[in-house]
Amino acid sequence: MAKYFGTDGIRKTVGTPPLTPLGMTQLGEALWAWLVEEGEPSPHIAIGWDTRASSGWIMHALSAALRAHGARIDLVGEASTPELARYTRASKAQLGIMITASHNPATDNGVKLFDGEGFKLSSEAQDRIEFLMDEAGKAVFSPGDPYRVEVVKWDAPDLSVYGIPAGALDGLHVVLDTAHGGATPRAAAILRAFGAQVTAIGDAPDGVNINDGVGATHTEALAAKVVEVGAYAGLALDGDADRAIMVDETGAEVDGDQIIALLAAAMRADDRLTGGGVVTTVMSNLGLERYLSDLGLPLTRTAVGDKHVVEAMRAGGINLGGEQSGHIVLLDHTTTGDGLLAGLHVLALAKTDGRKFSEISNVFEPVPQKLVNVRYEGESPMNMASVQEAIATAADRLGADGRVLVRASGTEPLIRIMVEAMDVGALEAAISELESVVRAAAE
């Protein structure tokens, strides 16, 4: 069981170990020690962060520990996670550090780690870094060479990295919600550079409003604005812009599964889909799996987290994958979930198609699905025999016409209960019973 790392790096409430000055100093020491073990005695490291008020001191704690040993630090500044991953690879840095808690509230923060190719570190690497964090400060300190810090200056974005032609969005009116997060400085300008007319919301970060009633996990504001201004579509990013949820001109939500289906069909038709299939997680709707099967495309499911999706994509030579939550990975153009990139490709397809967004984005009929979260303190209810028995019973009753998934969140003290079933009555009965058992176990 990982001590510090969860589904997607380290993510905690600020002030909770290791999200403390001491903890972040220990992480900096551990990262330096790990890089030395990997053969990088004078590493080059890129650090970016989102708009949370706590991101600044976390950056200083990490960079101080790394600089003390002689690491070269590039401060990328406020950025999205995919921008940081892209910069790490382009600058030939050995490590990328993104300070963010993604879609979580401003009271949380965390760290995502990328290797020199822009891919998230493996679980094995994270395990070693955890061990080194607990060893930090025990060895005799030997200062490195004088530290070097370079502040990255952002020029006009390189539009070629997005893989769509100039003018691809000419005439499309798009409402963009950047969740008051890391994509705010550049995302609207990039959409406009491809020809879109942009109405921006969620674009006034103040350090505490990231994801607050806006962004990919709160699309109500986006939907209302799209309808109000008569836009073609809306695109919502989360705090670090590694996920995208869209809405059509009526305000109806278009989730990651529908986006994957739309991209898969188009890429297959153009002979751009590699690996013979698509990768998603256990959370993706059964309707997506059936739709892809009708296209002759097998669906590979992984554990939750775009890191696991990318690992399976690379292993299978597959260039399209993602999550229902909006992490979309187009491996020909990126190394991680990239909400802006996914949105650009979907909008470019829509522009070529010419129909209303509602007519092209409802790709398949989802199997009825319901998700309930149960918060707990102390020991995870997943360890209780009563919970495991309830899961087995529900799965047995639904049989081949449904699916049950109960798991502990990797980012919050939550048990996530998901049930799918063709029979809505059976779905409601199963999820009600599971929620009741899990809540009892959590008390």
Write down the catalytic residue from 102, 284, 325, 361. 102
Domains 168-252 and 254-338 share a fold: yes
All residue ranges of the chain with pLDDT < 50 are none
Predicted TM-score (pTM) of this structure: 0.92
Closest CA to 344 of 198, 156, 146, 138: 198
DSSP SS3 for 148? strand
Q: What is the predicted pLDDT for the residue at 147?
A: 61
Distance (Å, rounded) from C-alpha 298 to C-alpha 276?
Answer: 7
The CATH superfamily assigned to 369-442 is Alpha-D-phosphohexomutase, C-terminal domain (3.30.310.50)
pLDDT in tens, 323-382: 999 999 999 999 999 999 999 999 999 999 999 999 999 999 999 999 999 999 888 999
What fold does the segment set 254-338 form as a domain? Alpha-D-Glucose-1,6-Bisphosphate; Chain A, domain 3 (3.40.120)
- Spans of all domains in the chain: 5-151, 168-252, 254-338, 369-442
User: Which CATH architecture is the domain 5-151 placed in?
Assistant: 3-Layer(aba) Sandwich (3.40)
> 6 phi and psi, to 5 degrees?
-115, -150
The alpha carbon of residue 159 and the mean position of all alpha carbons in its chain are separated, in whole angstroms, by 22
- Concerning whether 91 is annotated as a catalytic residue, the answer is no
Please state, in angstroms and as integers, the Cα–Cα distance from residue 327 to each residue in 94, 152, 321, following that order. 24, 26, 8
Q: What is the predicted pLDDT for the residue at 400?
A: 84
Q: What is the predicted pLDDT for the residue at 2?
A: 74
Q: Does domain 168-252 have CATH number 3.30.70.260?
A: no
